[in-house]
A and B are shown apart, each in its own frame.
Chain A
Amino acid sequence: MAVLVIADHDNASLKDNTNKTVTAALALSGDVDVLVAGQGAKGVADAAAKIAGVRKVLLAESDALGQGLAEAVTAVVLPLMAGYDAVLTPATSQGKNFSPRIAAKLDVSQISEIVEVVDANTFVRPIYAGNALETVQSSDPKKVITVRATAFKAAGEGGSAAVESIGAGDGAPKTKFVDQQLVKSARPELTAAKIVVSGGRAMGSAEEFQRVIEPLADKLGAAVGASRAAVDAGYAPNDYQVGQTGKVVAPELYVAIGISGAIQHLAGMKDSKVIVAINKDGDAPIFQVADYGLVADYKSAVPELMDALTAAGK
């Protein structure tokens, strides 16, 4: 059996989610190829070729692929599927957009956001905001799978696969790309960061969120996250949202500040290795999952934490 992994990238660099998805793919088969669909993405393909265990890298380039349009990606992948038994995509907003389209075109069910490969037909995936884990066995001839990347270790480097250019397909004739506004940040990416500092509704304003959360994140070299409540209130941009309906993170250290711990937030961070919660309400549900809880007002606790980190040489 051969497996295709669709790379996660921004046309300039390959994202670590790809390496993690390759690990999941290698649990299915030793014959793993990577598709880089983008524009001006030769560097991404070269990086993918270095992932240990990758047999071959396919590079398809067009404007519509560079914009990540679902119709365009689907058009490239469908003809390739004659040669593959499964296609795996990291469950990013990008992957979630096109993968089900591929599945329906192949007349198969998608197996969404797997966290474990049991065997070539059997997978584990969270349902109900991570309150249950479902083990499913697929009877479809081809598997279309999205992978919750945080559940898999990243495949290392050391490969030397060949890069092969392939056709770019028909694009997305019914869709026009208007524009894209991405926030540029010097901080690590939320889903790949080793440390995440998140703020909640207690911040009270966007200014306060920036004043409190961002310096602490920078001191720790951390990514910044937020609860849904904080995002809904406009204190933080939407792509900061950690939770069932936002990003799922599993860093070494997750610091939740002024976050009560709604089910939907816990679903996005409860697999973190160490969880710290700072909240003035000692009964907040976040303390039930926290390894270290500090019952205190963030207004005094965060400055004290900054000082303690400085004292500790951070």
Chain B
Amino acid sequence: MKVLVPVKRVIDYNVKARVKPDQSGVDLANVKMSMNPFCEIAVEEAVRQKEKGVATEVVAVSIGPIQAQETLRTALAMGADRAILIQTDQDPEPLAVAKLLQAIIAEESPDVVIMGKQAIDGDNNATGQMLAALLDWPQATFANAIELSAGSAKVAREVDGGIQTLDVALPAIITADLRLNEPRYASLPNIMKAKKKPLDIKEAATLGVDLTPRLKVVKVTEPAKRGGGIKVESAADLVTNLKTAGVL
């Protein structure tokens, strides 16, 4: 079984995003970038499926600037077999990303795509569902547990109020939620080995997808800051204050 795992290079999880003074966006100059945490979970899941003998090949794909090669090397160090970079200096919207992935899937014919549910920069939570729609494949989003077998996948999904379990016919799109697994740290020998694994680079323009944005960013602003609060001395003080504030 061949597994395709799309991964995204984003601002590091521990870095606080700062809005540029000219309101044109978030300042990413000299900011630490890493693999999107949900993509790490997806890579981990694909590699575990391979370790269990269910998956035979794990292919990581990223769409982004030339530096996204580093993100792909991380995926290779975690255990992916090979990688494809679709190079573009644009920042394509989820719909365009889904179309680029659709083009790669036409070439690679994976049995299943496992990807993060959301990127922590745009917070759209849309690409996986869009890709499923374009391919007319079933989707199992927000996966908490995945059992792959020949021709189908049983996926436990995190939904409001609990867990829903679906059985989807393969090929399918599965998006990873937080508690699917805990991604490993790549070991030094594996990082060294990853340098020798194949990484193809394709120009996004060669895939025949229109990357023109549908959404024009008018401005990016900082949210209103909360006014400074006070420290209270005791629980009784707290209750008095909350009564005065009218919330009790």
Contact = CB atoms under 8 A, between A and B. Distances in A.
Interface of A: 10, 67-71, 74, 92-94, 96-105, 107-113, 122, 126-140, 172, 174-183, 195, 220, 228, 231-232, 237-239, 244-245, 247, 252-253, 263, 270, 273-276, 282, 287-296, 301, 304-305, 307-309, 311-312, 314
Nearest to B243: A312
B144 interface: yes
A253 B129 contact: no
Contact of A100 (B126, B158, B213, B237): B126
A109 to B, nearest CB: 4
A126 B223 contact: yes
A253 B166 CA distance: 37
Given A101-B133, A133-B220, A292 B234 contact: no
Interface stretch (B65-73, B135-143, B198-206): B135-143
Most buried by A among B128, B229, B231, B245: B229
Interface in B109-132: 118, 120-132
Contacts of B94: 100, 109-110
Given A132-B17, A183-B161, A307-B235, A291 B230 contact: yes
A301 B235 contact: yes
Contacts of B125: 96, 100, 112
A294 B232 contact: yes
Contacts of B167: 175-178
A294 B16 contact: no
A97 B218 contact: no
A134 B217 contact: yes
A292 B214 contact: no
A239 B223 CA distance: 26
Given A274-B242, A304-B235, A308-B238, 4 more contacts: A130-B223, A177-B164, A238-B144, A291-B245
Contact of A180 (B123, B141, B164): B164
A308 B232 CA distance: 14
A133 B230 contact: no
Interface string B155-173: 0001111111111110010
The range of chain B's interface size is 35 or more
B26 A128 contact: yes
A124 to B, nearest CB: 9
Given A232-B178, A287-B229, A287-B231, A178 B162 contact: no
Q: Is the interface of B mostly helix, strand, loop or mixed?
A: mixed
Given A109-B94, A238-B158, A132 B223 contact: yes
Contacts of A308: 234-236, 238-239
Given A180-B162, A294-B232, A127 B121 contact: yes
B21 to A, nearest CB: 13
Contact of A276 (B127, B216, B234, B238): B238
A276 B140 CA distance: 37
Contacts of B19: 131-132
B138 to A, nearest CB: 4
B17 A128 contact: yes
Nearest to A96: B125
B75 interface: no
A103 to B, nearest CB: 7
Nearest to B19: A132
Nearest to B162: A182
B11 interface: yes
A131 B218 contact: no
B226 to A, nearest CB: 5
29 contacts: A70-B141, A92-B160, A97-B141, A100-B94, A100-B127, A101-B133, A104-B131, A108-B95, A109-B214, A110-B124, A122-B218, A129-B17, A129-B123, A131-B18, A132-B26, A132-B221, A175-B168, A178-B167, A179-B164, A180-B164, A237-B162, A238-B177, A245-B178, A291-B245, A292-B238, A294-B232, A295-B231, A308-B238, A312-B243
B14 to A, nearest CB: 8
B129 A126 contact: no
Nearest to A110: B126
Contacts of A93: 142, 158-160
Contact of A252 (B137, B215, B247): B247
Given A239-B160, A263-B16, A174 B239 contact: no
B245 A174 contact: no
A126 B118 CA distance: 14
Contacts of A134: 217, 219-220
A2 B132 CA distance: 28
Contact of A292 (B17, B216, B232): B232
Given A135-B220, A175-B167, A312-B239, A112 B161 contact: no
Contacts of B168: 174-176
A93 B134 CA distance: 21
A94 B158 CA distance: 10
A244 B237 CA distance: 31
B141 A293 contact: no
Most buried by A among B154, B161, B245: B161
